[in-house]
Amino acid sequence: MSNPFSLDGKTALVTGANTGIGQAIAIGLAQVGASVICVGRRECSDTVDQINRAGGRATSVLADFADPMAGQDLFNDENVDILVNNAGIIRRNDAIEFTESDWDDVMDVNLKALFFTTQSFAKAVFARDGQGAVVNIASLLSFQGGIRVPSYTASKHGVAGLTKLLANEWASKGININAVAPGYIETNNTKDLQNDPVRNAAILDRIPAGRWGHASDIAGAATYLCTPAARYVHGAILNVDGGWLAR
């Protein structure tokens, strides 16, 4: 009997895989058998080394998604079965002070690059009459407004919407499109919040689990959505938030 949670023989490409959530997802995919292409604007050597030392298979590719079309050529030379769109940035400022640059920079990486990278992946899958899985990294701010992050909130609402739209179009064509919405996770993007005693206390007070999440918490959920066990899951946005949205 085949293991529905195995990715043996599959190739996965993870964007923003050099650190944090992306690194954890890349490692999680490798642990269940996938060969992993780790993509980042900086070398993903640490991620690749961790995977290879553990007996997995990984390579690193440079791509800067500040250029929204940077993913166009990522699927030319490899039969990639799984795409994880993790690359993302954030800008913080009061809405009244927010600049056009801070708006455009975030939207380009978090939403425009995600769409056109996914489009390129799908074209490659369809061309070989294959099957595939896409996991987008959404956010609690796909559902809530937040404060002082207008472009990030708009982009993550967009990620949720695109996840549903693409699932509607491609579910019958062999590609599963889903998303994971992380809660408050200990990463570089949340350092300012972790270091702010008032905000940190308020955040922890609302999380039923009583702690910030770890990147590995997201990796487990993302890996599941890439496996055959999730073959009938389409257009889902899986909250991994310690219970935040349940409050």
The distance from CA 164 to its chain's CA centroid, rounded to whole angstroms, is 15
Per the CB < 8 A criterion, the answer to whether 180 and 222 are in contact is yes
Proportion of the chain above pLDDT 70, given as a percent = 100
pLDDT of 1? 67
Query: Is 2 inside any structural domain?
Result: no
DSSP state of 100: H
pLDDT of 2? 87
Query: Is 131 inside any structural domain?
Result: yes
Query: Is 3 inside any structural domain?
Result: no
Q: Does residue 190 have a pLDDT over 90?
A: no
pLDDT of 21? 97
**Hey, which residues does 136 pair with through a beta bridge?**
85, 179
Specify the CATH number for the domain of residue 46: 3.40.50.720
Query: Is 4 inside any structural domain?
Result: no
Per-residue pLDDT of 13-68, as tens digits, reads 999 999 999 999 999 999 999 999 999 999 999 999 999 999 999 999 999 999 99
Amino acid at 81: D
pLDDT of 78? 85
Res. 191 pLDDT band, cuts 50 70 90: confident
What mean pLDDT value characterizes the chain?
97
Q: Does residue 218 have a pLDDT over 70?
A: yes
Query: Is 6 inside any structural domain?
Result: no
Range in 72-76, 166-170, 185-189 the model is least confident about: 185-189
pLDDT of 77? 84
Q: In the predicted model, what is the mean pLDDT of residues 178-185?
A: 98
Query: Is 146 inside any structural domain?
Result: yes
Between CA 17 and CA 226 the distance in angstroms is 16
Q: Does residue 11 have a pLDDT over 90?
A: yes
The domain containing residue 171 runs over which residues? 11-246
What's the domain count of the chain? 1
Tokens of 108: 């380009």
Query: Is 1 inside any structural domain?
Result: no
pLDDT of 189? 78
Range in 1-5, 32-36, 174-178 the model is least confident about: 1-5
Closest to 30 (Cα-Cα) out of 2, 60, 6 = 6
Active site residues: 152
Per-residue pLDDT of 124-162, as tens digits, reads 999 999 999 999 999 999 999 999 999 999 999 999 999
- Is the four-CA dihedral 220, 79, 63, 157 of positive or negative sign? negative
Percent of the chain as helix, strand, coil, to the nearest 5: 45, 15, 35
